[in-house]
Amino acid sequence: MKKILVGIKRVVDYNVRIRVKPDGTGVVTDGVKMSINPFDEIALEEALRIRERGAASEVIAVSVGSTDCQQQLRTALAMGADRAILVEAGGGVEPPDVARIFHKLIEREQPFAVIVGKQAIDDDSSQAGPMIAALWGRPQATFASKIDIGETTATVTREVDAGLETLEVELPAVFTTDLRLNEPRYVKLPDIMKAKKKPLDTLTLADLGVSARSRLKVLRVDPPSQRQKGIMVKDAASLIEALKSKGLV
């Protein structure tokens, strides 16, 4: 069976205005809408399209975190994933441990592809995908804007600073998805009802023989500086004078 593992991360919805806690220890999440990380949603959509083209037989959504992640995994199942796996772990699991967890799941499931978002919108670390590839000892194609799966290889167009780059990688491989790869499908009510009957397995770190530890310590979180109020000027000369008074010219 040709399987695809897809990483799903629970993050604050991108439409929510982020607020920093008064004590500066983090951002407010109580009562805040949580969603699938947008880049992971793109990764899932691409995996579903690969399956629909007949190049895969099963799509497995995987999330690492608290039991609350079941909500996002159920959404992934409603989108079309065949089954889901939740690896229960405390909050703030860092990329090296996420990669080790995925490596253990790869050994269990034997997928021909692992697809994850290029980054998460909460920490923007962009590390999990490359770390998974390193532990697995398989090729990686990051920032993919087009993926064509063949019998033994995949052709990937990726976005780089100079434009577009096309790579051919041997399968199995790890792919990380960019924004322009696709547009995720809309989840309909009947699909949500069907998702309730799909399997969602829960594992612990001990089940996988993995332990997690903190390597980074957040000292303080501060909101962006408030924008200064603008002023209106009558003409270019007034603008120059205003800039001079602020020491900008």
For residue 208, give Cα distances in angstroms to 64, 69, 203, 205, 212.
12, 18, 8, 5, 11
Q: How many domains does the chain have?
A: 1
Average pLDDT over residues 23-41: 89
Residue 41: pLDDT band with limits 50, 70, 90 = very high
Contact 44, 182 (CB under 8 A): no
Tell me if 238 is assigned to some domain: no
In this prediction, residues 180-186 reach a mean pLDDT of: 93
Q: What is the pLDDT of residues 146-157, one digit of tens each?
A: 999 999 999 999
Q: Is the pLDDT of residue 132 over 80?
A: yes
- Give me the chain's average pLDDT, please: 92
What's the rounded Cα separation, in Å, for the pair 150 and 35? Answer: 32
**Is residue 53 in some structural domain?**
yes
User: The domain that contains 186 carries what CATH number?
Assistant: 3.40.50.620
Residue 11 lies in a domain: yes
Asked whether residue 39 is domain-assigned, the answer is yes
Write the pLDDT tens digit of every residue in 201-249: 999 999 999 988 888 888 888 888 887 788 888 889 888 888 888 888 7
In a domain, 244, yes or no: no
What's the average model confidence in pLDDT over 8-20? 90
- 249 within a domain of the structure (yes/no): no
Q: Give strand pairing partners of 174.
A: 114, 140
Q: Is the peptide bond before 190 cis (omega within 30 degrees of 0)?
A: no
For the segment 51-73, the average pLDDT, to the nearest whole number, is: 94
CA angle 161, 165, 167 (to 5 degrees): 140
Q: What is the bridge-based pairing of β-strands 140-149 and 153-160?
A: antiparallel
Q: Look up the domain containing 177 and give its range.
A: 3-223
In a domain, 32, yes or no: yes
In a domain, 216, yes or no: yes
